[in-house]
Amino acid sequence: MIFDDSLPLVGIPACLVNDEGRKIHRVGDKYIHAIYDVSGCAAVLVPAMGDRHDFRTLIDRLDGILLTGGASNVEPEHYDGVPSRRGTLHDASRDNTTLPLIRQAVAASVPVFAICRGIQELNVALGGTLHQLIHELPGKSDHRMDRRLPAAERFVPRHTIAITPDGVLHRVTGGAAREIVNSAHAQAIDKPAEGLKVEAVSEDGVIEAVSVIGSKTFSLGVQWHPEHPLAVKTPLSIALFKAFGAACHDRERARHVSPERTHAA
């Protein structure tokens, strides 16, 4: 995808992982490729530095925020949840980076695309709560990754979602009523934040997509992985990343319009 103007900068918050005693800020390659190849933007890593960030500077200089999946869970203290079970992986540095960044991005109308852990962060940042183990709830299916499968097959389409009529996802998909998506999560939205609209649900009632109510730009979260190589070339993923990219290009152009040009227009 080629644009005549400069590429927008999409910030991708990193996970902070421990690799044999070394702390590494990590972002999966698949997210970066989706931003470059489908959204037509440039990706920049946002290290998991928590309140050491000047979030206002980030918001002023970025044209979009992509929130990725991750192996860790959002710590329940952020939504008054019960303590996690022993052995649950958390990433406090990522939580302390993404949650304030999301709130400022939404307030400043910076495009936000939240994926898997990202949709959970979006919900928590705006005041919602999470289920930590949805497969243990009555009537719910097991949405976790099937690790018995070869790695190349773990993100095959798993279940259908029903899309809310006249919502953001409905418009982005060109009016689709249903889609089929992959699934690799144990946490999911419990109570949606008051500022979010449910955009899609799975067959067993799990919230699969949300949007920011009243947003002037693309502000969408999805529970599946549209960036995965098995999914990214599908019409659904292409529509999502193109819509996000278009919103980022709009912001990039608006940021570079001088006050004099704005006044003259």
Catalytic one of 75, 208, 227, 252: 227
CB atoms closer than 10 angstroms to residue 16: 19
> H-helix or E-strand containing 249?
helix 235-255
- Please indicate whether residue 225 is annotated as part of the active site: yes
Length in residues, the chain: 265
- Burial of residue 151, with CB atoms counted within 10 A of its CB: 0-12 exposed, 13-18 middle, 19 or more buried: exposed
CB atoms closer than 10 angstroms to residue 168: 21
List the beta bridge partners of residue 210: 198, 221
Residues 6+ apart with CB under 8 A from 100: 51, 55, 125
3-state secondary structure of 120: helix
Catalytic one of 131, 143, 185, 225: 225
Catalytic one of 15, 41, 116, 248: 116
- Please indicate whether residue 41 is annotated as part of the active site: no
From the list 194, 199, 193, the residue with the least C-alpha distance to 211 is 199
Tokens of 185: 């999560």
Enumerate the active-site residues: 116, 225, 227
